[in-house]
Structure 1
Amino acid sequence: MSKKGYLYILSNKHRTVYYTGVTSQLLERVYDHRRGRGCHFTKKYNIRELLYYEEFPTMLEAIQAEKRVKRWKQAWKIELIKTINPEMVDLWSEVSTLGQPGLLDDEDG
């Protein structure tokens, strides 16, 4: 059975830099980024706010979507984000309700 995957887009609080990623564990991956344990790029530019996510039936489909979106211009990514998040607010509170006991104990925002 194939594992589902997620495409996600993060940004800094000023919405000047965007990061597109893929994962099979959305909550855990975004949590890592928020705590500064993401990749070097997100750490360097303080990219911690989840603006967009999309679930795919398989990781392969999520990876294909990520490769496609990474080639897009920033304006296109913003339009994609606005399809589910017109105000471009941090969606962490939405996804964190899907959480696991103990994972969010030290989360401060």
Structure 2
Amino acid sequence: MREYSYFVYLMASRWNGTPYCGVTSDLLRRVVEHREGAAEGFTAKYGVSRLVWFEQQSDINQAVLR
């Protein structure tokens, strides 16, 4: 049985800028998507591209609750 890792992360547009909180199973891919503006919507609109904090969880439900 494969054990999965999930990440809760916070990103911001700049220092003291617009914050964004997300959950993903592939943190590196998700940060690159934010930085390249590949994800449409809130993060592209506000230029959220700086990783501020992250935490790894083994259970998706715990990651979402966190």
SS of alignment partner, residue 13 of structure 1 = coil
Q: 2:49 maps to which residue?
A: 48
Residues in 1 aligned to 2:29 and 2:65: alpha-carbon distance in whole angstroms: 21
Distance 1:26 1:41, change over 3 A: same
- Structure 1 counterpart of 2:60, one-letter code: M
Residues 2 and 58 in structure 1, CA contact (< 8 A), matched pair in contact too = no
Deviating runs (4+, > 6 A) in structure 1? Answer: none
User: Please, which runs of 5 or more residues in structure 1 have no aligned partner?
Assistant: 66-109
Q: Alignment length, in residue pairs?
A: 65
SS of alignment partner, residue 32 of structure 1 = helix
Q: 2:59 maps to which residue?
A: 58
Higher relative contact order (CA 8 A, sep 6+): 2
Q: 1:28 maps to which residue?
A: 29
SS of alignment partner, residue 52 of structure 2 = strand
Q: 1:9 maps to which residue?
A: 10
Of all paired residues, the percent bearing the same amino acid is 31
Residues 5 and 61 in structure 1, CA contact (< 8 A), matched pair in contact too = no
Given the two structures, how large is their TM-score scaled by the length of structure 1? 0.55
SS of alignment partner, residue 43 of structure 1 = helix
More helix by share: 1
- Compute the displacement of 1:16 (Å): 2.1
Residues in 1 aligned to 2:25 and 2:64: alpha-carbon distance in whole angstroms: 10
- Compute the displacement of 1:4 (Å): 1.3
Which structure: larger Rg? 1
